[in-house]
A = this chain, B = another copy of it.
């Protein structure tokens, strides 16, 4: 009976994390829409909905503490539950980045448009895909899918570097567009950071599935890994 209860609690934890993932993915999607369509109303909705994500994070965190205290899991169950706690925190941070992007969208809409979108829509699409795949990998314990996320992170990092370089040129040639260009720099770095957090999630999945840590190994291999902005 106790055993069955534990299995149910793990399933509830999984489905809550999936719901949390959907909320944050939607927030990123809407914040980029707000930016590109210069739609301040959608941006304000993203900012308002952050509260729900924060409350949900606390509920999941409390559920994790209860499971640890009452069920005293060991071995792979323990690792899965601790990974859930970290993933929950990563998702909440992605929600924060959506708010940053929404704030940039509001700032951007207050100035004349820049006239170019650069690679921001593409970066947003990759970031959303990474997040969705990282969560799918988590749900199905699929470390192969997790490794796919790691590869996409290199692409989004390169797009971020290119975008910032392009924006430096925009500022140099149109110094009066500096505010708008800096909004875009901020959005680019926030999207790159979303990619980093999706990568963290994928690394946790691989860690649980293969019971060893990949995150700093991949950094060693590349001499310099993805980092937060």
Contacts and interface: CB of A to CB of B under 8 A. Distances in A.
A79 interface: yes
A68 interface: yes
A89 B215 CA distance: 12
A58 B220 CA distance: 14
A97 B229 CA distance: 7
Contact of A171 (B54, B89, B100, B171): B171
B86 A78 contact: no
Query: This chain: how many copies in the complex?
Result: 2
A227 B99 contact: yes
A158 to B, nearest CB: 15
Given A47-B224, A78-B68, A228-B97, A178 B189 contact: no
A15 to B, nearest CB: 22
A153 to B, nearest CB: 14
A133 interface: no
Contact of A168 (B69, B178, B224, B229): B178
Interface string A190-203: 10010000000000
B100 A227 contact: yes
A69 B65 contact: no
A94 to B, nearest CB: 10
Contacts of A216: 51, 54-55, 57-58
A175 B171 contact: yes
Interface stretch (A30-38, A116-124, A135-143, A179-187): A179-187
Contacts of A179: 168
A219 B82 contact: no
Nearest to A178: B171
6 contacts: A51-B219, A97-B228, A164-B182, A168-B179, A182-B185, A185-B185
Interface of A: 47, 51, 54-55, 57-58, 61, 64-65, 68-69, 72, 74-75, 78-79, 82, 85-86, 89, 93, 96-97, 99-100, 164, 168, 171-172, 175-176, 178-179, 182, 185-186, 189-190, 193, 213, 215-216, 219-220, 224, 227-229
